[in-house]
Chains A and B, each alone.
Chain A
Amino acid sequence: MEHVIEMLNIRKVFGNFVANDNITLQLKKGEIHALLGENGAGKSTLMNVLFGLYQPDGGEIRVRGKKVDITNPNVANDLGIGMVHQHFMLVENFTVTENIILGSEPTKFGITNKKDAAKRVKEVSEQYGLNVDPHAVIEDISVGMQQRVEILKTLYRGAEILIFDEPTASLTPQEIVELIQIMKRLIAEGKSIILITHKLKEIMDVSDRVTVIRKGQGVGTVTTSETSPAELASLMVGRQVEFKTVKTPANPKDVILNIQKLVVEDYRGVEMVKSLDLNVRQGEIVGIAGIDGNGQSELIEAITGLRKVKSGLITIHGKDVTNMKPRKVTESGVGHIPQDRHKHGLVLDFPIGHNISLQTYYTAPISKGGIIDYDKIDQKAKEIIAAYDVRTQGPHEPARALSGGNQQKAIIGREVDRNPELLIAALPTRGLDVGAIEFIHSRLIEQRDNGKAVLLISFELDEVMNVSDRIAVIHDGEIVDIVKPEETTEQELGLLMAGHHVREGSKKGLEREGEDQHVD
C-alpha cells in the first residue's frame, strides 16, 4: 500500500536536549495510525515537525513519495495536512462558519461572503456525517461538537491527512464512541489519520498500526491486531506495567467526611450542588463519577472552603467546617489535590521547593516568629522529591520547568506528607501517562490502607472503577446512586451519569431502567 507520509529518521534537538532521535513514522493511505508515548516522549515535537512549526535537525519527510521541506504550517496545509488540536482553536462568540473561514474568508466584491461559505460547510459536514449546524455559535455547543468543528475546519481546507492530538482528553464516554465512528467514516472517505494518544484502550479500538516512541527515541511500529495493551504499555514505558490496580478489600471505620443537604451556587448564582448527601469513612476510597460540569468542582470547592456554602452541613471527623476559611479546613486535616494543578495546585514561578511548603511555610519547624528558614524548606523538598520520585534538578528549579507528571507527583507528595484525615483527589491523573497513573493510584490506595479517608473525583470511568471502594454517581448536583465497583458495569455508570436513575438495589438493572425510580 502507498505511504502518504513518511517521516524517516527524524531528529530534533533543543539546545542540549534531544527531543526526537531517529524516529520513523510511515502513514499508509486510508489507515488510522496511532502515535503512542508517555508525556514528554516527543510526540508533540514530532507532529510539530510534520506540521511545519519546527524544522528537523536530521532525517527527511516525504509526502506521497516526494521529499518535502515543510517550512511553516501553510506549507503543511497546502500538502493536505490538517491538525485537530487538543486545545481547540475556536473563537467562542463566533459561529461555526465564521470559525471555519477565519483566516481565509471568501469574499465577493471585498465583502465576506458567509452565505456561500455556510453552504459549503454544510455540504462537507453532511459528506462526513459530522452533523454540524453551520450557524450555531461555538459557546452554545458541546465540547464534542466543538471538536467536530475543528475536524470540519481541516476538511474544509482540503486536508487529506488529519492529525488528532489527544482527541478524547475532554470528551464524555458517549462522545468518544461518536468520535471513533467519525474517524472510521473519514477513513472510508479516503482520508488518513495520525492519532496521538497515551490511552491504550483507544488505540486497540480504532487504530490499524501503532508507532511507539520512548524518551525521544523511535521504539518501532506494530500492527494493532497483532499486539496487546500490555505489550504496548511495556514498549511505551520500557518495563512491565500493572493495569488492574492491586488492592485488598476496604476496611472502613469511622466517618471522616460527612456532608448533609449541601447546596452550593456557582458564580452566576445557579445552584450547582443541590441538597447533596455523602460520607467518606476511614480506610475507604469513595469515587465520584460524573460528567464534567455536574457540580463536582463546586462540591470540592465547598468542602475545602474555596467557595461559600448556601446551606447544608460539612463536618470533618465530627467537626463542623462549613464555610470555614481554606486554611482552617486544611488545618482540620484535609489534603486536596486540585483538579487544575496550574491554576490552584502550584505557583508555577516559584521554585518547586517553595511549592512543596505552600501550606506549611508558616508553621514550625520551617518558620519561627514569622521568619522562614529556607534551609528547612529545601530539606523538606528534598525529602518529598526523593520519596515521590519527582524528576527535577532540585528544590530550586521553578515548578514551571517540571513535566506535568512530576508536578503532580510533587503536589501529591505535599498533600500526603501532611498525613491528612481526608484526602481529596480531583482528576489526579489528568493528562498523565500510564507509569505516572500507576504510581498515583498506588499512593491513593496506600493512604486508604493507612486508615485515611480518600475522596476521588474523576471523569475517567476506568479510574473510578479501578481505585474506588464505593462509587457515588453525581448528576446535576445530586448523588443519584452509590454503587460498588465490583457490582456495576461501565454501561450502568454511563447511564447513571447521564441522569437515568436506576432503582436502588438493581445494580445490574439496565433492563429495569423503564421503572425509573428516584433513589432520593
Chain B
Amino acid sequence: MSTKATNILVPVISVILGLIVGAIIMLVSGYNPVDGYLALWNGIFGDLYTVGETLRQITPYLLAGLAVAFAFRSGLFNIGVEGQLIVGWFAAAYVGVAVELPKIIHLPLALLAAAVAGALWGFVPGLLKAKFHVHEVIVTIMMNYIALHVTNALIKTVSGGGDRTESIFASASLRSEFFENLTEFSRLHYGIILALVMVGVMWFILEKTTLGFELKAVGFNHNASQYAGMNVNKNIVLAMVISGAFAGLGGAMEALGTFEYVSSKAGFTGIGFDGIAVALLGMNTPLGVIFGATLFGSLKYGALNMPNAAGIPLEIVEIVIAVIIFFVASGYVIRLFLLRAAKKKEAK
C-alpha cells in the first residue's frame, strides 16, 4: 500500500473505531448511540450558529496547540501553556479595561500585552533550563499554579474585591459584526483569523528562517548544535519565549473575543493542557495543529449538545469524546496493523 493511501486511511479508520467503541459505551450505559451521535453532529454542524460557536471554540485550541508544538520542535516539553494562557488572558483583559484608546492602537496593544505576558511566563522556565539545567516540565507545572493564583489575586485587586473585571472597551474587542451576521449571532470573533495567521507564522519561523533552523537543530541534538557554533542556551530561552507568546495570544482570544472580561478561576481552563494533545495529534506541525484543534474544538463544543438533545449524562459524553481522541492518537497502532496486513499479502 502506498504511504499516501495509508496516511489518509489511518485517521479515517481511527475515527471510525473511536465512534464504534464510543457507541458501545453508550449502549452499555443504556443510552441510544444513534441519538447520541446525532446530537453530537447537530452540536457541531446543526446550524450556522453552532458552526460559528465551534469555530470560536477551535480558536484558543489553535494557539495552545501551536505553543506546545513550537516548544516540542525545539526539544522542549512546555506543560506551562495553561499558565501562559491564563496570564495572557489577564493581561489582555487588563489592557482592555484600564485604558480607552483608538481601536488601531488599543487592540494591538492588548494582544501585545497578552503575548508579552505569556512570553514572560515561558521565559522563566527557559532561563532556568538554559542556565541551571532545571527540567522545564517541573518549572512549567509550578508556573501554572503561580499563574492561576496570581491572576486570581490581581483580578480581586483590579475589580476592587470582586471576582471579575469590567467588560473591556469596545476598542480592544475582537468582536466581529461580519461574523455575527454570518453565523446567526454566535460569538465567533476575528481571533480565528489571527490564530490562522499565527499558524503561518510558526510555519515561516520553522521552515524559512535561520532561527527555525537553529531551533530544530537544538531540538534534535544539543551537542551537534553546539559543535556547529549555535548558541544552545539562547535557543532554549527563545523557544520558550515564542511558545509562551503563542499561549498568551490564546488567552487573549478569551479575553478580547469570547468573554470580553476575565474572572477568577477555581481551577485551570484545560485549554493549555488540551493543547498538548492538539500538538501531538498534529505531529507538531503547523498544519497538523489545525487538524488537531479542529477535532478537539468540534468534539468539545458539539458534546455540549449531547446531554440536552439525547439525555446522555455529561460524564458519559466525556468518556465517549476521550475514547474518540484516544483512537486518533493511537493511529500508529492502526498503521502497524495495516503494514502487517500488507506484508502478509505480499508473502502470499
Instruction: Give me the interface of A with B, judged by CB distance under 8 Å.
Output: 304, 306, 325-328, 330-331, 336, 338, 343-350, 354, 358-359, 361-362, 367, 370-372
The distance in angstroms between the C-alpha atoms of A345 and B223, with both chains bound, is 9
> Judging by beta carbons under 8 Å apart, are B213 and A347 in contact?
no
B183 sits at the interface (CB 8 A): no
With a cutoff of 8 Å between Cβ atoms, the chain B residues found around residue A306 in the complex are: 226-227
B142 sits at the interface (CB 8 A): no
> Judging by beta carbons under 8 Å apart, are B210 and A325 in contact?
no
B221 sits at the interface (CB 8 A): yes
> Judging by beta carbons under 8 Å apart, are B220 and A348 in contact?
yes
B211 sits at the interface (CB 8 A): yes
B266 sits at the interface (CB 8 A): no
With a cutoff of 8 Å between Cβ atoms, the chain A residues found around residue B231 in the complex are: 325
Given contacts A350-B216, A350-B220, A345 and B227 within 8 Å (CB-CB)? yes
CB pairs A–B below 8 angstroms (28 shown): A304-B227, A306-B226, A325-B231, A326-B226, A326-B228, A330-B229, A336-B227, A343-B221, A343-B223, A344-B224, A345-B227, A346-B221, A346-B224, A347-B220, A347-B224, A347-B225, A348-B221, A349-B220, A350-B216, A350-B220, A358-B228, A361-B210, A361-B213, A362-B210, A367-B210, A371-B208, A371-B210, A372-B213
How would residues 207 to 218 of chain B score, 1 for a CB under 8 Å from any chain A CB and 0 otherwise? Answer: 011111100110
> Judging by beta carbons under 8 Å apart, are B227 and A350 in contact?
no
Interface positions of B from 178 to 235, Cβ below 8 Å from A: 208-213, 216-217, 220-221, 223-231
With a cutoff of 8 Å between Cβ atoms, the chain B residues found around residue A367 in the complex are: 210
Residue from A325, A345, A370 within 8 A of B209 (CB atoms): A370
The distance in angstroms between the C-alpha atoms of A349 and B220, with both chains bound, is 7
* Given A326-B226, A326-B227, A343-B221, 12 more pairs with CB closer than 8 A: A325-B231, A326-B229, A327-B229, A343-B223, A346-B224, A347-B217, A348-B220, A354-B213, A370-B209, A371-B210, A372-B212, A372-B213
The distance in angstroms between the C-alpha atoms of A359 and B214, with both chains bound, is 10
With a cutoff of 8 Å between Cβ atoms, the chain A residues found around residue B230 in the complex are: 327
Main SS at interface, chain B: helix
The distance in angstroms between the C-alpha atoms of A367 and B209, with both chains bound, is 8
Q: How far is the CB of B212 from chain A (nearest CB, A)?
A: 8
The distance in angstroms between the C-alpha atoms of A345 and B212, with both chains bound, is 20
Q: How far is the CB of B304 from chain A (nearest CB, A)?
A: 41
The distance in angstroms between the C-alpha atoms of A338 and B210, with both chains bound, is 23
The distance in angstroms between the C-alpha atoms of A358 and B217, with both chains bound, is 9
> Judging by beta carbons under 8 Å apart, are B223 and A344 in contact?
yes
Most chain A CB within a 10 A radius of its CB, from B212, B220, B229: B229
Interface size in chain B (residues, C-beta < 8 A):
19
Given contacts A343-B223, A349-B220, A359 and B210 within 8 Å (CB-CB)? no
Nearest chain A residue, comparing its CB with the CB of B212: A372
Residue from A325, A345, A346, A371 within 8 A of B229 (CB atoms): A325
The distance in angstroms between the C-alpha atoms of A345 and B221, with both chains bound, is 10
How would residues 85 to 115 of chain B score, 1 for a CB under 8 Å from any chain A CB and 0 otherwise? Answer: 0000000000000000000000000000000
Interface positions of B from 223 to 254, Cβ below 8 Å from A: 223-231
Nearest chain B residue, comparing its CB with the CB of A340: B223
With a cutoff of 8 Å between Cβ atoms, the chain B residues found around residue A347 in the complex are: 217, 220-221, 224-225
The distance in angstroms between the C-alpha atoms of A328 and B231, with both chains bound, is 12
> Judging by beta carbons under 8 Å apart, are B217 and A350 in contact?
yes
Nearest chain A residue, comparing its CB with the CB of B230: A327
Given contacts A347-B220, A350-B217, A372 and B227 within 8 Å (CB-CB)? no
The 3 closest A-B pairs by CB, nearest first: A327-B229, A344-B227, A358-B228
With a cutoff of 8 Å between Cβ atoms, the chain A residues found around residue B210 in the complex are: 361-362, 367, 370-372
The distance in angstroms between the C-alpha atoms of A370 and B226, with both chains bound, is 19
Nearest chain A residue, comparing its CB with the CB of B221: A347
> Judging by beta carbons under 8 Å apart, are A338 and B227 in contact?
yes
Q: How far is the CB of B297 from chain A (nearest CB, A)?
A: 31
With a cutoff of 8 Å between Cβ atoms, the chain B residues found around residue A304 in the complex are: 227
Nearest chain A residue, comparing its CB with the CB of B225: A347
Q: How far is the CB of B233 from chain A (nearest CB, A)?
A: 11
> Judging by beta carbons under 8 Å apart, are A359 and B209 in contact?
no
With a cutoff of 8 Å between Cβ atoms, the chain A residues found around residue B212 in the complex are: 372
Residue from B208, B216, B223, B229 within 8 A of A359 (CB atoms): B229
The distance in angstroms between the C-alpha atoms of A347 and B220, with both chains bound, is 6
The distance in angstroms between the C-alpha atoms of A348 and B228, with both chains bound, is 14
Q: How far is the CB of B340 from chain A (nearest CB, A)?
A: 13
Nearest chain A residue, comparing its CB with the CB of B229: A327
The distance in angstroms between the C-alpha atoms of A325 and B230, with both chains bound, is 9
The distance in angstroms between the C-alpha atoms of A361 and B231, with both chains bound, is 14
The distance in angstroms between the C-alpha atoms of A346 and B220, with both chains bound, is 10
The distance in angstroms between the C-alpha atoms of A16 and B63, with both chains bound, is 43
Q: How far is the CB of A472 from chain B (nearest CB, A)?
A: 23
> Judging by beta carbons under 8 Å apart, are B224 and A370 in contact?
no
Most chain A CB within a 10 A radius of its CB, from B212, B213, B216, B231: B213
With a cutoff of 8 Å between Cβ atoms, the chain A residues found around residue B228 in the complex are: 326, 330, 358-359
Nearest chain B residue, comparing its CB with the CB of A326: B229
With a cutoff of 8 Å between Cβ atoms, the chain B residues found around residue A327 in the complex are: 229-230
Nearest chain A residue, comparing its CB with the CB of B208: A371
Q: How far is the CB of B185 from chain A (nearest CB, A)?
A: 43
With a cutoff of 8 Å between Cβ atoms, the chain A residues found around residue B225 in the complex are: 347
With a cutoff of 8 Å between Cβ atoms, the chain A residues found around residue B213 in the complex are: 354, 361-362, 372
> Judging by beta carbons under 8 Å apart, are A370 and B220 in contact?
no
The distance in angstroms between the C-alpha atoms of A350 and B216, with both chains bound, is 9
The distance in angstroms between the C-alpha atoms of A358 and B216, with both chains bound, is 12
The distance in angstroms between the C-alpha atoms of A345 and B227, with both chains bound, is 8
Given contacts A306-B226, A338-B227, A371 and B220 within 8 Å (CB-CB)? no
The distance in angstroms between the C-alpha atoms of A199 and B221, with both chains bound, is 32
Q: How far is the CB of A425 from chain B (nearest CB, A)?
A: 14
The distance in angstroms between the C-alpha atoms of A347 and B228, with both chains bound, is 10
Most chain A CB within a 10 A radius of its CB, from B221, B226, B230: B221
With a cutoff of 8 Å between Cβ atoms, the chain A residues found around residue B229 in the complex are: 325-328, 330-331, 359
The distance in angstroms between the C-alpha atoms of A304 and B221, with both chains bound, is 18
The distance in angstroms between the C-alpha atoms of A251 and B187, with both chains bound, is 79
The distance in angstroms between the C-alpha atoms of A343 and B213, with both chains bound, is 18
The distance in angstroms between the C-alpha atoms of A354 and B221, with both chains bound, is 13
Q: How far is the CB of A346 from chain B (nearest CB, A)?
A: 6
With a cutoff of 8 Å between Cβ atoms, the chain B residues found around residue A325 in the complex are: 229, 231
> Judging by beta carbons under 8 Å apart, are A370 and B217 in contact?
no
Nearest chain B residue, comparing its CB with the CB of A305: B229
Q: How far is the CB of B15 from chain A (nearest CB, A)?
A: 29
Given contacts A347-B217, A347-B221, A348-B221, A372 and B226 within 8 Å (CB-CB)? no
Q: How far is the CB of A348 from chain B (nearest CB, A)?
A: 7
Most chain A CB within a 10 A radius of its CB, from B212, B216, B228: B228
